């Protein structure tokens, strides 16, 4: 599959890649390098999806390489758009509310998963109009069966927003199929805390980094990203403290917190630290960190599968 890289031409950033030896380029719609870096990965995901669903030649050309100044968006004559152009259009739209970098990365991963699902389940769909109520319902029903209500609602909200922003930007009159799907009950999206008995069951059955992750979750009580990417520089064994600078608020004043180590957490972290050779730095959970950096769902899927194995449906 293509590996994309950035190219700057006259102050504008382009995604460049090769497929079957033929080079391609497409504008990322920005002159800012950091923004281009954020847009590159999800754009290449749409390229790969088009290869899987057979629309690559129609979307990116068959044999001859386009010039770097190839137009970013290609609307069809009947007010429609290639699926491969939807995400770049959304990113470049002035109607889009720009979130933080971490949130934007998560959005890109979620949309990329939707595109992957489209290429597998509905390869015949090549344009935005082809994402009908039935197609949207098929995708959301699969999420309903395999993900938490909170995750379901996040996907639904993102896909509805992308559709709405793209149609507003391009003045399309295409019904938004995701807005027709009601969110799952908010009450079910907020899972109650585990009981003490459930915590004991989890800690007795988990192993390896999964066990350490649950210890951090129970006793440090930070977001999943903060636990997965915790560094040994933040763990003060001699002072029995963990310093946390939540990614969500990192960079703001007073964002760091010092949390006293619970005795049980101290025992677990001491074991892991000694087994790792008492490192001064590096991820406490290197395996989980790698999985998380490849996509948050890689970790949450494993957590949910483990909990289901215990009869604790998340």
Contact partners, residue 299, CB within 8 Å, separation at least 6: 224, 228, 288, 291, 292
The yes/no answer on whether domain 196-309 falls in CATH 1.20.1290.10 is no
- Tell me what pLDDT residue 253 has: 46
**Cα separation of the two ends of the chain:** 34
Q: Which residue's entry shows tokens 């098929």?
A: 138
Q: Is 27 exposed, middle or buried (0-12, 13-18, 19+ CB in 10 A)?
A: buried
Order across the sheet with 257-260: list the strands: 235-236, 241-244, 257-260
Dump pLDDT digits (tens) for 139-174: 999 888 766 677 788 899 999 999 999 999 999 999
Handedness of CA 259, 264, 269, 270 (dihedral sign): positive
Q: Which helix H or strand E contains 45, and what residues bound it?
A: helix 33-52
**Which portions of the chain are predicted below pLDDT 50?**
62-75, 77, 186-192, 253
Residues 33-87: tens digit of each pLDDT: 887 887 787 777 777 766 765 666 766 664 443 333 333 344 454 678 888 888 8
- pLDDT value for 313: 64
Domain boundaries, the chain: 5-188, 196-309
pLDDT of residue 251: 54
Nearest residue to 125 via CA among 184, 69, 175, 83: 83
Q: Which pLDDT score, from 0 to 100, does residue 52 have?
A: 62
How far apart CA 30 and CA 38 sit, in angstroms, is: 11
């Amino acid at each position: 599959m293509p590996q994309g890289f950035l190219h700057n031409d006259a102050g504008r950033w382009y995604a460049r890649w090769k497929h079957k030896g033929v080079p391609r380029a497409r504008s990322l719609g920005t002159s800012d390098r950091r923004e281009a870096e954020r847009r590159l990965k999800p754009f290449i995901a749409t390229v790969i999806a088009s290869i899987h669903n057979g629309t690559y030649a129609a979307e990116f050309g068959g044999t001859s390489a386009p010039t770097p100044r190839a137009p970013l968006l290609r609307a069809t004559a009947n007010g429609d758009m290639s699926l491969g152009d939807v995400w770049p259009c959304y990113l470049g739209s002035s109607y889009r509310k720009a979130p933080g970098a971490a949130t934007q990365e998560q959005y890109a991963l979620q949309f990329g998963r939707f595109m992957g699902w489209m290429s597998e389940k509905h390869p015949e769909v090549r344009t935005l109009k082809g994402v009908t109520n039935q197609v949207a319902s098929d995708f959301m029903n699969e999420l309903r069966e395999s993900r938490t209500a909170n995750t379901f609602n996040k996907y639904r909200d993102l896909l509805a927003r992308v559709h709405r922003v793209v149609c507003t930007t391009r003045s399309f009159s295409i019904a938004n199929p995701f807005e027709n799907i009601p969110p799952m009950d908010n009450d079910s999206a907020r899972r109650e805390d585990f009981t003490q008995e459930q915590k004991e069951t989890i800690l007795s059955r988990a192993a390896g980094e999964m066990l350490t992750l649950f210890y951090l979750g129970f006793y440090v009580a930070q977001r999943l990203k903060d636990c997965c990417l915790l560094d040994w520089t933040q763990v003060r064994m001699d002072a029995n403290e963990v310093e946390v600078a939540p990614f969500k608020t990192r960079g703001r004043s007073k964002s760091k917190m010092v949390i006293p180590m619970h005795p049980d957490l101290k025992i677990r972290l001491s074991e892991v630290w000694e087994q790792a050779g008492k490192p001064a730095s590096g991820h406490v959970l290197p395996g989980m960190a790698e999985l998380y950096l490849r996509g948050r769902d890689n970790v949450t899927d494993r957590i949910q599968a483990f909990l289901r194995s215990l009869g604790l449906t998340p």
